[in-house]
């Protein structure tokens, strides 16, 4: 991996999960606040507002993890939090509700219905604690 980090709007050709509902992918911060803006999760999806249809990645470190794309894409398409509809769609497109690890780090926790889900906000969060 190069030390040089990609930031900004990710060109469509680099999207792992292109979809008609996916309008943009922003890397290195939130599209609403620009490069360098902080958020707690590794990635989140905008399901409403001016940037509905956008996925933001905190860093390009996670851009190769397809499970994260599918997780966020499912939010974009269903415009829904971690709901039954979201789960169904996620599984339909080949995503997982199981925890996902990358380089030994938990990048997605379990999203099975029995798992406790924290308060859902508009910007979806992926717990990494
Ligand atoms: Zn964002
Ligand atoms: Zn989520």
Q: What is the 3-state secondary structure (H, E, C) of 86-124?
A: HHHHHHHCCCCCCCEEECCEEEECCCCCCCCCCCCCCEC
Residue 122 in tokens = 């508009």
**Least confidently predicted of 1-5, 23-27, 67-71:** 1-5
Give the model's pLDDT for residue 4.
84
5 Cα–ligand 2 center, Å:
24
The C-alpha atoms of residue 56 and residue 72 are separated, in whole angstroms, by 9
Ligand at minimal distance from the CA of 32 is 1
DSSP classification of residue 80: -
pTM above 0.75, yes or no: yes
Query: In whole numbers, what is the pLDDT of the chain averaged over residues?
Result: 91
**Distance from the alpha carbon of residue 56 to the mean position of ligand 1, in angstroms:** 5
What is the per-residue pLDDT across 36-79, written as a single tens digit (0 to 9) for each?
999 999 999 999 999 999 999 999 999 999 999 999 999 999 99
User: How much distance in Å is there from the Cα of 88 to the middle of ligand 2?
Assistant: 13
The kind and range of the H/E element at 57 are strand 54-57
Distance of CA 114 to the CA centre of its chain: 21
Instruction: Give the Å distances, CA to CA, from 50 to 31, 37, 47, 101.
Output: 10, 17, 10, 32
Residues with CB under 5 Å of ion ligand 1 are 30-31, 56
What is the per-residue pLDDT for 114? 74
Indicate whether 118 pLDDT > 90: no
Cα torsion angle, 77, 37, 25, 102, sign: negative
pLDDT value, residue 115: 52
pLDDT of residue 80 exceeding 90, the answer is yes
Fold of 8-108: Zincin-like (3.30.2010)
Domain ranges of the chain: 8-108
Average pLDDT over residues 114-119: 62
How much distance in Å is there from the Cα of 75 to the middle of ligand 2?
7
């Amino acid at each position: 991996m190069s030390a040089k980090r990609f930031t900004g709007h990710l060109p469509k050709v680099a999207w792992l999960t292109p979809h008609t509902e996916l309008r943009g992918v922003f890397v290195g911060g939130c599209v609403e606040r620009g490069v360098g803006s902080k958020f707690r999760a590794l990635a989140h999806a905008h399901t409403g507002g001016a940037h509905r249809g956008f996925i933001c990645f905190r860093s390009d470190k996670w851009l190769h993890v397809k499970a994260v794309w599918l997780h966020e894409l499912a939010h974009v398409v269903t415009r829904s939090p971690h709901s039954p509809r979201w789960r169904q769609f996620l599984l339909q497109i080949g995503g997982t509700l199981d925890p996902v690890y990358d380089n030994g780090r938990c990048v997605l926790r379990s999203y099975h219905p029995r798992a406790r889900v924290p308060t859902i906000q508009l910007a979806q969060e992926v717990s990494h604690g």
